[in-house]
């Protein structure tokens, strides 16, 4: 083994001063720490499926050596004067001088007097890539080193050493000094090569682009872990701490240091998926009910795959698609070697509801293996979800067989948690150019991915969805897609996106499928990509076990007052009326008209997070599967009521919307087998907002394309049968072939086509490219032309993949002459910061057209009334909107008012037609 010189051993990687103690870490120590860490992660943390994917182009032994080399060489760019002369972050000149003096004594004379005018042009990641290129390391591998701080270079920095020679070699013309730096850099490189199993730089192989993305993610994870001094700032649990400045490499026991760190950090168990046997009913074992014929048939077909790719489940609302998907996750994980799960849903509300179900399922798996499995709820209000909040911290639990959280996996590391449930943004962001995107690809490539309510995503979001699926296909990740109302065109696009990602351009040549597969309108329908073959299952014995639901459809065009009167008459003898409208303002306006003596529940996005969580829970308890139903109630809500909530109405009133969404809303009608009021024995749906054919009002037509509303209005007859008519009706609305049935459709169709192309172009601006499967492809330029600030601001990133205006979140307080309070009456000074932080609400975009001006106003108010928030870990950086004694306030020339009954309302100060 090559011995390192004192010169190489005295180079530093990290330094800081804390509580008067001067600390540092030799560069060689950090390189070895990271090599040990990435090697362990490759062998013990990556799933078997991820390793199999990486081994497509490199044998396991060669891949193992490459992984070690990446870990060691990632910071070789720190072995340069540009880095070694960097000052400490804390500005401790004494510490800086001591470390420089070490290097001067080691042979780098003059380093203490060096002043580099262009050091910033050769940051250490870029310098590392340039050094590796100089010594003959393949371009595809060097690009990983150049990008290990989150964003690869646009191109190979082949000329940086020539252009900025002093940054690398201390002098532009002193050849003796240059040789000293070159020897140090070459010495480290050769040491790393030997430590990795290579004899020379020429043995290091090239790597393909998709493989490089995963390896980059693994390197970033390893570097972050090896740079963690302690476990979650708990200095009683060291990971890779710095050492005193008077200590050196010789004082470190690197093996013991590494083993202690990993044993402290690795708190979760490894999921070992088992084959789902069909000799017994797995649904009975996991959930205590016997499988329906549709469930049993689908589970059997999924279990027979050998190279599963995409699974699309199209089945009625209430048939048990979630259970099919979770069981499929077990099956696919077993077949493909995955060791985790991501389930994506349209909204925070649906994510919260699904989190409880996944948590229960995962608890069963944890107990069966006697392991602790780590889970993460991923959305902006996750910390306020009670189920998630009550889960034990992995570091504080000694028993096994539990579901736990590990707080090391936070921020951008969250997606690395093995089991994750969250909003679909967390998946779509896989397609957005964003710093450290590699971590998202790493986290998702080892999981089974379930996409629920896939019909709910609009044209813009679909473009990100297809790009994401391209990459999941490239990684051979099994995907389960769920929908009750999926247009066949979207089904085909999903399948093609996966095939294109997995096989590249040749996918059309090798693809095998049943005749007329693109036109299949069977329902229920299971579509399975098994390798390059498509199998479709549409024969389900006994599928009529779900009792047909015949719906009476009526158009209802009345004033808001008359609508409430009509509803009251309908439930006069009892019943639960659901009212689903397309805007928050309409929901609030209708709710105000409901008499005080009628039980009312409202659900929309303009409530405090705490109030909304309370309402969601109360709604489930009242009209959920085992709810205690009141005699009479009206439920008014927006689109959130149509998605994934297992609630049951006796009669439904809904604003006009595209066919699939109307049917989803209808899926909450007569959902369970229960006794109903005599007048509501027959399910009835009343469609509102149809003034005349082709006239649906400005509000509705601003939300949904008129083209889709017209086709829905045309094909939605007075009597439909669920589930039999679901697919037929959806296909009629979304198929261009049916346009000829409607003579007036020409202009709306042209507008829709223009809108479609505009959204596609807009969505493509900041997307990553599709996977490049050529052997010569690198990750250079992969994240060029990214969108400003999306890597630093979660909300900006989420808005980017949903094409929505950026909005502000504020904490609502009440400021009066009696003091400061929460809106529930508690005095602010008596409430913990965490509870105050839960009192958040998103301000409608219409209130903040100039968002910077609004932020300035809110910052002024916050600093004036609550300066102490900046010292609170939960409240630092939060914005407050103080309301007066009547729960009213002003922002950006808007009047705002909050009530726990209706939520946040607003009007322009000069709008005298709107009152509170």
pLDDT surpasses 50 at 916: no
pLDDT surpasses 60 at 629: yes
Mean pLDDT for 646-662 is 94
Residue 228 exposure: Cα atoms within 13 Å on the Cβ side:
24
Q: How confident is the model at residue 274 (pLDDT cuts 50, 70, 90)?
A: very high
Pick 783 or 643 by higher pLDDT.
783
Q: How confident is the model at residue 712 (pLDDT cuts 50, 70, 90)?
A: very high
Q: How confident is the model at residue 636 (pLDDT cuts 50, 70, 90)?
A: very high
Is the previous residue joined to 113 through a cis bond, with omega within 30 degrees of 0?
no
User: Residue 3 to residues 155, 187, 194: CA-CA distances in angstroms?
Assistant: 34, 9, 11
Mean pLDDT for 161-189 is 95
pLDDT at 802 (0 to 100): 78
Phi and psi torsions of 267, nearest 5°: -110, -15
Average pLDDT score, the chain: 92
Mean pLDDT for 9-26 is 94
Contact 377, 385 (CB under 8 A): yes
pLDDT surpasses 80 at 674: yes
Mean pLDDT for 84-111 is 93
Alpha carbon of residue 746 to chain centroid: 39
Task: Name the percent of the chain lying above pLDDT 90.
Answer: 77
Residues 6+ apart with CB under 8 A from 843: 807, 808, 809, 810, 854, 881, 891, 904
pLDDT at 913 (0 to 100): 40
Mean pLDDT for 801-818 is 85
The DSSP call for residue 206 is: P
Phi and psi torsions of 719, nearest 5°: -140, 125
CB-count burial class (<10 Å; 0-12, 13-18, 19+) for 176: exposed
pLDDT surpasses 90 at 904: yes
Contact 479, 449 (CB under 8 A): yes
pLDDT at 830 (0 to 100): 94
Domains 292-541 and 547-741 share a fold: yes
Superfamily for the 547-741 domain: P-loop containing nucleotide triphosphate hydrolases (3.40.50.300)
pLDDT surpasses 70 at 884: yes
pLDDT in tens, 848-880: 888 888 899 999 999 999 999 999 988 988 999
pLDDT at 28 (0 to 100): 98
pLDDT surpasses 50 at 353: yes
Question: What does the alpha-carbon distance between residue 481 and residue 321 come to, in Å, rounded to a whole number?
Answer: 10
Task: Name the percent of the chain lying above pLDDT 70.
Answer: 96
pLDDT surpasses 50 at 914: no
pLDDT surpasses 80 at 804: no
292-541: which CATH topology?
Rossmann fold (3.40.50)
Three-class SS of 498-521: HHHHHHHHHHHHHCECCCCHHHCC
The runs of H, that is alpha helices, within 454-513 are: 459-474, 488-503, 507-510
Mean pLDDT for 476-501 is 96
pLDDT at 543 (0 to 100): 55
Question: What does the alpha-carbon distance between residue 138 and residue 161 come to, in Å, rounded to a whole number?
Answer: 17
| Coil/strand/helix, residue 210 | helix
Q: Which two tokens stand for residue 343?
A: 């389930």
Mean pLDDT for 83-112 is 93
Q: How confident is the model at residue 915 (pLDDT cuts 50, 70, 90)?
A: very low
pLDDT at 912 (0 to 100): 43
pLDDT at 289 (0 to 100): 93
Sheet holding 533-537, edge to edge: 403-404, 373-378, 419-423, 341-345, 448-451, 479-483, 308-314, 525-530, 533-537
Residue ranges of domains in the chain = 6-265, 292-541, 547-741, 805-908
Which helix (H) or strand (E) element contains residue 6? helix 6-9
Residues 6+ apart with CB under 8 A from 215: 54, 66, 67, 70, 144, 207
pLDDT at 793 (0 to 100): 67
CA angle 733, 737, 740 (to 5 degrees): 90
Query: What is the CATH code of the structural domain delimited by 6-265?
Result: 1.10.3210.30
Closest C-alpha among 686, 680, 721 to residue 549:
721
Beta strands in 691-779 (DSSP E): 719-722
CB-count burial class (<10 Å; 0-12, 13-18, 19+) for 340: buried
Phi-psi region of 636 (alpha: psi -120 to 50; beta: other; left: phi over 0): beta
pLDDT surpasses 50 at 763: yes
pLDDT at 433 (0 to 100): 92
Closest C-alpha among 451, 476, 202, 228 to residue 342:
451
Q: Supply the DSSP string of 372-389, one letter for each residue.
A: -EEEEEESTTGGG-HHHH
Mean pLDDT for 222-226 is 97
pLDDT surpasses 70 at 483: yes
Highest-scoring range by mean pLDDT, 96-100, 545-549, 846-850: 96-100
pLDDT at 789 (0 to 100): 67
Contact 641, 647 (CB under 8 A): yes
Q: Which two tokens stand for residue 60?
A: 């396991």
pLDDT in tens, 291-324: 999 999 999 999 999 999 999 999 998 889 999 9
The DSSP call for residue 49 is: H
pLDDT surpasses 50 at 787: yes
pLDDT at 1 (0 to 100): 59
């Amino acid at each position: 083994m090559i011995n390192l010189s004192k010169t190489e051993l005295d180079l530093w990687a990290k330094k800081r001063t804390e509580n008067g103690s001067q600390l540092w870490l030799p560069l060689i120590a950090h390189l070895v720490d990271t090599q040990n860490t990435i090697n362990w992660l490759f062998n013990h943390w990556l799933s078997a499926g991820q390793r199999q994917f990486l081994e497509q182009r490199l044998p396991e032994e060669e891949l193992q050596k490459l992984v070690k080399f990446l870990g060691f060489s990632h910071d070789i760019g720190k072995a340069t004067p540009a880095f070694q002369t960097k000052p400490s972050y804390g500005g401790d000149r004494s510490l800086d001088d001591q470390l420089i003096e070490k290097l001067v004594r080691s042979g780098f004379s003059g380093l203490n007097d060096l002043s580099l005018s262009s050091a910033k042009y050769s940051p250490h990641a870029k310098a590392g890539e340039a050094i590796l290129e100089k010594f003959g390391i393949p371009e595809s591998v060097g690009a990983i080193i150049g990008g290990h701080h989150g964003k690869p270079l646009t191109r190979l920095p082949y000329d940086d050493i020539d252009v900025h020679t002093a940054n690398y070699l201390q002098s532009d013309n002193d050849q003796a000094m240059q040789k000293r730096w070159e020897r140090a850099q070459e010495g480290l490189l050769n040491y790393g090569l030997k430590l990795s199993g290579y004899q020379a730089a020429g043995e290091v192989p090239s790597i393909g682009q998709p493989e490089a993305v995963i390896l980059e993610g693994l390197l970033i994870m390893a570097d972050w872990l090896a740079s963690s001094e302690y476990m979650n700032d708990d200095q009683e649990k060291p990971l890779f701490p710095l050492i005193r400045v008077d200590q050196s490499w010789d004082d470190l026991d690197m093996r013991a240091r590494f083993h202690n760190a990993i044993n402290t950090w690795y708190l979760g168990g490894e999921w070992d998926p088992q084959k789902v046997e069909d000799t017994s009913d797995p649904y009975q074992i996991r959930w205590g009910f016997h499988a329906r014929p549709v469930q049993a048939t689908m589970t059997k077909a999924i279990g027979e795959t050998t190279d599963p790719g995409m699974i699309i489940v199209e089945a009625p609302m209430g048939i048990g698609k979630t259970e099919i998907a979770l069981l499929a996750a077990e099956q696919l994980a077993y077949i493909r070697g995955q060791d985790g799960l991501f389930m994506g849903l349209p909204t925070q509300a649906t994510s919260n509801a699904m989190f409880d179900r996944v948590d229960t399922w995962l608890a069963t798996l944890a107990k069966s293996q006697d392991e602790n499995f780590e889970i993460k709820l991923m959305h902006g209000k996750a910390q306020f979800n009670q189920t998630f909040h009550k889960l034990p911290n992995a570091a504080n639990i000694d028993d096994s067989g539990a579901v736990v959280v590990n707080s090391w996996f936070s921020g951008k590391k969250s997606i690395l948690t093995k089991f994750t449930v969250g909003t679909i943004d967390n998946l779509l962001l896989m397609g957005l150019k964003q710093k450290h995107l590699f971590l998202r690809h790493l986290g998702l490539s080892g999981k089974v991915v379930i996409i629920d309510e896939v019909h709910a995503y609009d044209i813009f979001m679909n473009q990100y969805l297809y790009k994401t699926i391209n990459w999941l296909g490239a990684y051979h990740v099994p995907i389960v897609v769920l929908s009750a109302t999926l247009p066949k065109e979207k089904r085909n696009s999903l399948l093609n996106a996966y095939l294109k990602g997995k096989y590249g351009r040749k996918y059309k040549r090798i693809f095998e499928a049943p005749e007329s597969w693109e036109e299949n309108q069977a329902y229920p329908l299971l579509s399975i990509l098994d390798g390059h073959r498509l199998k479709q299952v549409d024969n389900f014995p006994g599928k009529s076990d779900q009792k047909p639901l015949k719906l009476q459809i009526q158009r209802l065009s009345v004033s808001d007052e008359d609508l409430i009167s009509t509803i009251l008459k309908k439930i006069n003898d009892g019943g639960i009326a659901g009212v689903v409208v397309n805007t928050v303002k309409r929901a609030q306006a209708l709710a105000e008209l409901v008499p005080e003596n009628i039980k009312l529940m409202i659900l929309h996005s303009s409530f405090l997070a705490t109030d909304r969580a309370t309402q969601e829970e109360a709604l489930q308890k009242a009209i959920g599967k085992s709810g205690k139903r009141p005699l009479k109630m009206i439920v008014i809500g927006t689109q959130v009521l149509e998605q994934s909530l297992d609630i049951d109405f006796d009669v439904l009133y809904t604003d006009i919307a595209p066919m699939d969404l109307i049917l989803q809303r209808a899926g909450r009608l007569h959902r369970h087998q229960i006794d109903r009021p005599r007048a509501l024995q027959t399910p009835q749906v009343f469609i509102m907002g149809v003034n005349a054919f082709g006239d649906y009002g400005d509000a509705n037509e601003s939300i949904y394309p008129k083209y889709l509303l017209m086709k829905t209005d045309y094909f939605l007859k007075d009597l439909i049968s669920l589930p039999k008519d679901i697919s037929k009706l959806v296909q009629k609305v979304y198929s261009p072939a049916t346009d000829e049935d409607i003579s007036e459709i020409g202009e709306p169709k042209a507008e829709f086509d223009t809108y479609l192309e505009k959204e596609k172009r807009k969505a493509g601006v900041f997307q990553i490219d599709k996977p490049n499967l050529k052997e010569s492809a690198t990750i250079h330029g992969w994240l060029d032309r990214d969108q400003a600030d999306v890597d630093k601001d979660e909300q900006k990133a989420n808005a980017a993949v949903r094409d929505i205006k950026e909005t502000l979140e504020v904490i609502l307080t009440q400021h009066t002459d009696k003091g400061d309070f929460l809106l529930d009456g508690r005095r602010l000074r008596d409430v913990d910061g965490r509870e105050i932080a839960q009192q958040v609400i998103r301000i409608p975009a219409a209130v903040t057209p100039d968002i910077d001006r609004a932020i300035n106003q809110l910052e002024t108010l916050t600093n004036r009334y609550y300066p102490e928030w900046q010292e609170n870990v939960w409240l630092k950086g939060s914005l407050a909107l103080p309301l007066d004694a009547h729960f009213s306030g002003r922002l950006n020339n808007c009047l705002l008012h909050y009530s726990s009954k209706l939520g946040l309302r607003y009007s322009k100060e000069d709008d005298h037609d709107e009152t509170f």
